Structures are given as C-alpha cells and as structure tokens.
Amino acid sequence: MTDRIPSQDRATTTGRASAAPGTAEDRTAQERPGGVSRRALLGTAGATGLVLGAAGGGVGYALAPEGSEAPAEALSQLGARRAMFHVKHQPGITTPLQAKGHLLAFDLLAGKGRREAANLLRRWSGTAERLMAGEAVAADGHDTGVALDAGPASLTVTFGFGHSFFSRTGLEKQRPEALAPLPQFSSDHLDAKRGNGDLWVQIGADDALVAFHALRALQKDARGTARVRWQMNGFNRSPGATASPRTARNLMGQLDGTGNPQESDKDFAQRVFVGAGDGPEWMANGSYVVMRRIRMLLDDWEGLGLAEQEKVIGRRKSTGAPLTGGGEHTEPELDATDKDGDLVIPLNAHARITRPDQNGGAAMLRRPFSYHDGIDADGVPDAGLLFLCWQADPLRGFVPVQRKLDRGDALSEYIRHEASGLYAVPGGAGKGEYVGQGLLEG
C-alpha cells in the first residue's frame, strides 16, 4: 500500500496549466433562468482528460438560482472540473484521485444474455457521458435532481467485465487468458458474496452528491437486466485540503503510493494498458483491475509505537522517506545496517517487499479509496482500503507481488483481505460507440 498514486490535488495544477480560454460550447438544450445553461465547456486538458473552468475568469460552469433573475455565478474550480468520456483509455484509471468513490458489481438476471448486456452497456455509456459532462440524466428532464445545482466535479465512470460474464453471454472464446481466477492466498478471508460479479462499475467524483447521483442513475438503468451483487463506498482527501499537492494518506496515517509508476515513465503504458496483439482485439487500450477490500485492524495498529509502525512499513510516517534517510522519493539503501549490524529497513518491511526490483519488475498502478463502514459487533472499526490496482496482465503485476507479501509481509498482521475481484476493463469508447461494443458486437 505504499506505491505512489497520482495526487488528487494535482488535478488543480494540471488544469491550470492546460486549460485554454475559448468560446463556450453549450451542449444542453435546457436553459436556466436568466439565459444561462447548466453547463458550458471551455478548454481541454492533456493526458488526464480533464477540463478545468476557472471561476471569475470568464470560463467554467455557471448556474443561476432556480426561479431567480439574479446573474449566474461561476462554479468553484472543484465543481467545474470535467473528465472526458470518449478517450483512448477509460476514465478513472489515470484520473487523479477523487474525493468520493462507489464500487459495485452486477449479475445479469436469469434469461438475460449478450443482447441484453449490449443494450445495458449502451444505456450506461450514454448516461455516463451525459453525467460526466454535467448534464441531466435524460433530455426529457426525468432526473432525481440530486446534483441539479452542481457541475461535473471530476466525475468518472468506468466499466469492466468479470470472468462469469463471458459464460453468461456465450462469449467464452473471447474471454482473455489474463482474466483467469486469481490464486488463493494464505492471508485471504474472502466473502464470496462481496466479490467477483458479471459486470463491474467504478464511480468517482470530487463531490459526494454528484457521485451518488451517478450511482442511482446507473442502478436504475440496470433494472430488468441486471441486479446489484455488491456495493462498496469509499473516500479520499478532498482536492485542495493540503497546501500543496502530495501523496495521499490511508487510514493508518501512512503515505500511500510513493513508488507508483508515473505516466512520464517510458514503460508506463506497457505496464498498465493492454497493447494491440497482447490479447483479444476488443481489449486493446484496456487494462485489468484487481479489487481487494482490505480491512485494517486499526486498534492493533494504533497500539504500536511510532518507531514500530515505521519498521513495519520501512518508511517515515511523517514524510514517507525511507528509514535510511532522504525524502519521500529517495531510493532506499536496502543493504544499510545500524550500529548493531541489523538492517535499517527490515527484510519483511512492506516497502521493501513491494518494490518492483524485489519482484522481477512486477509493477501496477494503485488507485484506491479508503472506506469506513462503522463499528462491527465486536466494537472495533470496520475500516480500511478499497484497494484497486491496474495492470496490463495481473499474472505479471498483482499476483507475484501478493505472493511475496503472503510469504512474510510485516504489515499482514495488521490487515485482512475480505473481498476480491478481477475484471477486464476495455479501452475507451469512440464517439458514437459504447464501452465494450467491440466485444459484444464483434
């Protein structure tokens, strides 16, 4: 849990650098009182697929109070940020961390197959595109109104297919080899009811109501075709909560994501995304995501002293620097010893075990959400990490690292893997297409 994750705060920096002034493009047919539309798109961002409107600068999303003649006020930068739907790789993979997330899986109903699944993905893609643009669910105005006065708030919706989807739809020959079920690990305490599933959906946004609005819209779209198998809700630090962009912290107080692969790395795409010819044609530009609900045994963890916690992780809690010194991104001296001849970074330290150079180069893009589901029957917090990792092949990414952790990670004493899933996430949909169309109509 110590690999670097793109900081959600970086979305602000990226947006300022890449937002370009221009003429507002109004894609909504309905006008607000005072002649101001619900959404006005101005400028595009770069690799993250984000658009950022700057309040007061003549750009962004503007809203007027309902039933009022008052002039519209521009939304805050947080509300105005927009992620694009029609991109090479689905949104929500390299998108900077969002403040609120929902993960859920669906199972197709009895008697529903390939045709019904295609219709559902078509509906879902249309709904996701509209909501990510800050528009109403449908042009006819039939909307719950939950996010009526909000902008897109960096909303992303990501869709994937589970192992069982292919047998349910008669597409077994199109099932990727990389989607083979994950092996069992000795540290697993998995609840089968909260894992796997035919279809997987990830929703992320910087506003909780925007995320919930999308959740309800997608659930309603699925009626008559699929039912929810499980749902999990997560969160991260809100953008702008820190004075400057920094790596996120998890519920153990640790910086979580210091060694993540970066988009600037020359082998980033090779590690994270499926290349043409590396699997079924429909998976080109897609990725595989492993989901693990990892409960943190916080009472036990918080009972440790600071020095003990830092030895478990192998890094300073305050800065994320390796115990051998330097800053967060300083390379650790794995052979360094103390005055007694003991390794400064223990052999079973989490940060040592998870390093790519300790796992044959295995690496993955980690992009989790924290969760807190209250207090359980024993009076202890049901809280932890909704771990999500993205890779071109889980057998070369997640599996070797987890096997290594399973054999002797000091952190394993303070966490418990309670749910798991593996999903094939196809590439982004082109204009006029829906996600998964190459599979379902190929």
- Read off the DSSP letter of residue 188: B
Residue 129 neighbours by CB distance under 10 Å: 18
Q: How far apart are CA 311 and CA 413, in angstroms?
A: 13
Q: How far apart are CA 385 and CA 254, in angstroms?
A: 12
Q: How far apart are CA 429 and CA 435, in angstroms?
A: 5
Angle formed at CA 376 by CA 373 and CA 377, multiple of 5 degrees: 155
Contact present, 217 and 102 (Cβ < 8 Å): no
Residue 256 annotated among the catalytic residues of the structure? yes
Q: How far apart are CA 170 and CA 280, in angstroms?
A: 16
Report DSSP letters for 409-438, one per residue: -GGGGGEEEEEEEEEEEPPPPPTT--TTHH
Going by C-alpha positions, the residue among 369, 361, 141, 422 that lies closest to residue 257 is 369
Tokens for 266? Answer: 């020359």
Backbone angles phi, psi at 74, to 5 degrees: -65, 145
Rounded alpha-carbon distances, angstroms, from residue 393 to 269, 385, 389, 417, 425: 12, 22, 11, 21, 12
**Crossing angle (nearest 10°) for helices 208-221 and 114-132:** 150
Q: How far apart are CA 83 and CA 102, in angstroms?
A: 17
HSE at residue 194, side-chain half, CA atoms within 13 A, is 15
Tokens for 150? Answer: 């909000």
Which pairing describes strands 156-161 and 62-63: parallel, antiparallel, or unpaired?
Answer: unpaired
Burial 244-256 (b: 16+ CB within 10 A, else e): ebbbbbbbbebbb
Q: How far apart are CA 243 and CA 48, in angstroms?
A: 22
Q: Among residues 3, 107, 198, 256, which one is catalytic? A: 256
**Secondary structure class of 239 (helix, strand, coil):** coil
Dmax over Cα atoms in the chain, in whole Å? 76
Instruction: Quickly tell me which residue has 């992009």 as its tokens.
Output: 367
Tokens for 130? Answer: 């509209």
- Read off the DSSP letter of residue 174: G
> Any idea which residues carry the catalytic annotation?
256
